[in-house]
Amino acid sequence: MAAARAVINILGFTSTIVLARFLSPSDFGLVALATTALAIINSVTDISLNQALIHHREPTDYHFHTAWTLSVLRGLLLGMLVASLGLPMSWFYDDPRLLPIMLTLGASTFLAGFANPRRVMLAKQLVFWQEFLLTVSQRVITVAVSIAVAVAYESYWALVLGVISGQVAAIVVSYTSLPFRPRFALRHARELWSFSIWLTLGQAMSTINWRFDQLLVGALLGKAALGFYAVGDNLSQIPSRETTAPLTKTLFPGFSRIADDALRLRQAYTRAQSIVTAVALPAGAGVALVASPLVALALGERWGPVVPIIEALATIFALQTFGSLVAPLAMSLGAPRLLFRRDLQMFFVRLPIIITGTLLFGLTGLVYARCLTGVIATVTNMTIVRRLIGIPLVNQVSGSARTLISVSMMAGAVVLAQRMLALHGQHTSMILSLGISAAVGALTYISTLLITWRLMGSPAGPEDEAIKLVRRVMTRIQG
């Protein structure tokens, strides 16, 4: 899964660079209007049938027929809704090109409803190499078609047709690799819907929860402030998100397989949480420590106001890895309603805090409000974990004690190295500053983690997992 995300990110970056040479910024903006509307509608209406099938202990063929039928019906209704937005959007933005784009995306949405529901069995059975092939092949087709159309016609349709071709490729490959002859059936609709409805509501509330602050900034502080905030927020999430996403995606089916064994589930959760924290906490803290040279190199000096945003939010995102596995845990135990309640409660907690911080102190107040609500969200997630499987909050933190000690030592070493460079008056380049900080931080973190692990008697934990992984890789290479 990590390899899939890496390949997809590389392909996406390459595609953006190539397309930018053949298409104008207005082309990207035009398609972005349509795809943003589609993304919001998709997230709010997602019925989470895949999660329901993973949660089910022994899904039958009729469960898959029912899931396929519901998906097709949703695709039909959603496609009609997306297509119907074409005319009002073309009027509102005074651009008639939006009408055919929305009609095409509506047809694409309907087509996506025919996806093979048996694909979910790969994740359920923890078989991820085929998932890698399906995901990467879809992205390769998308990039290839987009670039080909852009080179031939230099039209914004390159972006639209790329998306559609990727969806068609995913459907064809899924049915080829996992043969399935679907039939219309609604025998298990109520059963699947009773689980997925709470995930749907939770997804809708989560989308609103994490989007309204950007709308608030745009309305109160202007587009420039929104630009700084949006870029800083996105860059702050990348280290924690990209390092943990491949891990967390495997945990829902993994937890589901042992959900009936309470002791084993607690042990598995503790083990997984320690691994996620050991990876994400230093990644997020590291980006916060090198935010200044990183922003100067990647974005330029004019983006200086983004630095304090990244320093604050990257740190809080890293800390939020504690309790971050509550979603796959709750779904594996058949408790998606808890996730909806959490998102609903957090919305009413975040709303007044963020509004107050923004009104009183502007962008700085918003960032500090995000930090405060991030701490509240972390404690809330950890409390839900305690309710579900009985692990006390103290134990959830102490399980990553070595990681916390190592990250603290890493932060001290990086700050000291940066100050020593400044004290000696060395006019090093930004690249050298970033490289030295990253090298010092990585070396300090890894060495401290291994030393504390040895001093504690080499207990089971992320260090042990990493050593086993390295040994397996070396064995395969030597073999």
Residue 429 scores a pLDDT above 70: no
Give the Cα separation of 316 and 313 in Å (integer): 5
Residue 380 covered by a domain: no
pLDDT winner (highest mean) among 126-140, 154-168, 238-252, 446-460: 446-460
Where is the domain boundary, 189, 212, 232?
189
Residue 203 domain-assigned (yes or no): no
pLDDT digits (tens, 9 = 90+) for 391-420: 999 988 888 889 999 999 999 999 888 887
Q: What are phi and psi of 347, to 5 degrees?
A: -60, -45
DSSP 70: H
Taking the whole predicted model, whether its pTM rises above 0.75 is answered as: no
Is 45 inside a domain boundary? yes
Model confidence band, residue 44 (pLDDT cutoffs 50, 70, 90): low
Task: Tell me the pLDDT tens digit for each residue of 11-40.
Answer: 776 776 677 677 776 676 677 777 767 777
In a domain, 280, yes or no: no
- Provide the residue range defining the domain that includes 85: 1-189
- Tell me if 213 is assigned to some domain: no
In a domain, 212, yes or no: no
Q: What is the dihedral of CA 210, 212, 214, 218, to 10 degrees?
A: 180
**Is residue 164, in this structure, part of any structural domain at all?**
yes
In a domain, 9, yes or no: yes
* Structural domain count, the chain: 2
The residue out of 124, 159, 189 marking a domain boundary is 189
Distance between CA 111 and CA 160 in Å, rounded? 14
DSSP code string of 305-371:
THHHHHHHHHHHHHHTTTTTTHHHHHHHTT-HHHHHHHHHHHHHHHHHHHHHHHHHHHHHHHHHHHH
> Domain ends where: 150, 166, 189?
189
Residue 365 phi/psi, 5-degree rounding, is -65, -35
Instruction: Count how many residues are written for the chain.
Output: 479
Q: What is the identity of the amino acid at 338?
A: L
